[in-house]
Amino acid sequence: MSKKLHTIPALDNFRMPGEQEAHEGIWMAWPERTDNWRFGAKPAQHAFAEVAKAIAKKTKVTMVVTADQYDNARGRLPEHIQLIEMTTDDSWMRDIGPSYVVNDKGVRRGIDWEFNAWGGLVDGLYSPWDKDDAVAKKVCEILEDDSYRAPIVLEGGSIHVDGEGTLYTTEECLLHPSRNPDLSKADIEQVLKDHLSIEKVIWLPLGLYNDETNGHVDNIMHVVAPGEVALTWCEDPSDPQYAISRKALDALETATDAKGRKIKVHKLPLPGPLYFTEEEANGIDMCDGMAREPGERLAASYANYLISNKHIIYPLLDEKTDDMARDKLAELYPGYELTGVAAREILLGGGNIHCITQQIPKL
Q: Is 276 an interacting residue with respect to ligand KQY (CB under 6 A)? A: no
Nearer to ligand KQY, 140 or 173 (CB): 173
The stretch near ligand KQY (CB under 6 A) out of 72-80, 100-108, 185-193, 211-219 is 211-219
Catalytic residue (choose from 140, 173, 234, 355): 355
Sign (positive/negative) of CA torsion 167, 172, 175, 178? negative
Scanning residues 122 to 151, which ones bind ligand KQY (CB under 6 A)? 125
Q: How far is CA 251 from CA 141, 244, 254, in A?
A: 39, 11, 6
Least distance between ligand KQY and beta carbon 72 (Å): 21
Scanning residues 302 to 361, which ones bind ligand KQY (CB under 6 A)? 349-351, 355
SS3 330: helix
- Nearest 5°: CA angle at 304, between 298 and 306? 150
Annotated catalytic residue 355? yes
DSSP strand pairing (82-85 vs 23-29): unpaired
Cα–Cα dist 217/244, whole Å: 12
Task: Build a one-symbol-per-residue string for 52-81: x at contacts with ligand KQY by CB under 6 A, - elsewhere.
Answer: ------------------------------
Q: Is 36 an interacting residue with respect to ligand KQY (CB under 6 A)? A: yes
Give the Cβ contact number of residue 178 at 10 Å: 17
Q: Is 157 an interacting residue with respect to ligand KQY (CB under 6 A)? A: yes
Q: Tell which phi-psi region holds residue 358, choosing left (phi > 0), alpha (psi between -120 and 50) or beta.
A: beta
Task: Build a one-symbol-per-residue string for 4-33: x at contacts with ligand KQY by CB under 6 A, - elsewhere.
Answer: ------------------------------
Contact 68, 358 (CB under 8 A): no
Least distance between ligand KQY and beta carbon 158 (Å): 8
Q: Is 215 an interacting residue with respect to ligand KQY (CB under 6 A)? A: no
SS3 13: coil
Q: Annotated active-site positions, please? A: 355
| Site residues (vs ligand KQY, CB under 6 A) | 36, 92, 94-95, 118, 125, 157, 212-213, 216, 290, 349-351, 355
